């Protein structure tokens, strides 16, 4: 009975034998969508993250930055062994942030 269901399903799919190329042709649109998805979404976000990591490694004292939380500040100290950046956000206010919390440099 199971073999009969498989045979009927295969016949309804239009397959005339194991060498019919319909299996590959039905996968082509799926593969095309995966490629488009990769080049439009995944690859640009990987490049953006790579550029952000370069920017974080190049941070120096005196750079104006914005954090992921939206706080603007000037780097007053960097503690590389702890991955901490000390930002001066007001005249007498300094706050410590993780380096990964820095979103971008501000000109």
Domain with 92 in it: what CATH number?
2.30.30.30
Q: How far, in Å, CA of 34 to CA of 73, rounded? A: 41
- The answer as to whether 15 is a domain residue is no
Q: What is the pLDDT along the chain (107 residues), one digit of tens a residue?
A: 666 656 666 666 555 555 556 777 889 999 999 999 999 999 999 999 999 999 999 999 999 999 999 999 999 999 989 999 999 999 999 999 999 999 999 98
- The answer as to whether 90 is a domain residue is yes
pLDDT value of position 22: 72
User: 71 and 105, same structural domain?
Assistant: yes
pLDDT value of position 31: 93
User: 88 and 77, same structural domain?
Assistant: yes
Q: Which domain holds residue 28?
A: 21-58
* pTM (2 d.p.): 0.64
- The answer as to whether 4 is a domain residue is no
């Amino acid at each position: 009975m199971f073999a009969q269901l498989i045979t009927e399903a295969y016949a309804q799919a239009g397959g005339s034998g194991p060498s019919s190329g319909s299996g590959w042709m039905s996968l082509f649109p799926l593969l095309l969508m995966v490629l488009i998805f990769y080049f439009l979404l995944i690859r640009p976000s990987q490049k953006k993250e790579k550029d952000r990591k370069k920017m974080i490694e190049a941070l120096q004292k005196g750079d104006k930055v914005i954090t992921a939380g939206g706080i603007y500040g000037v780097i007053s100290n960097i503690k590389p062994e702890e991955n901490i950046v000390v930002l001066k956000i007001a005249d007498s206010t300094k706050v410590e942030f993780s380096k990964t919390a820095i979103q971008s440099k501000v000109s």
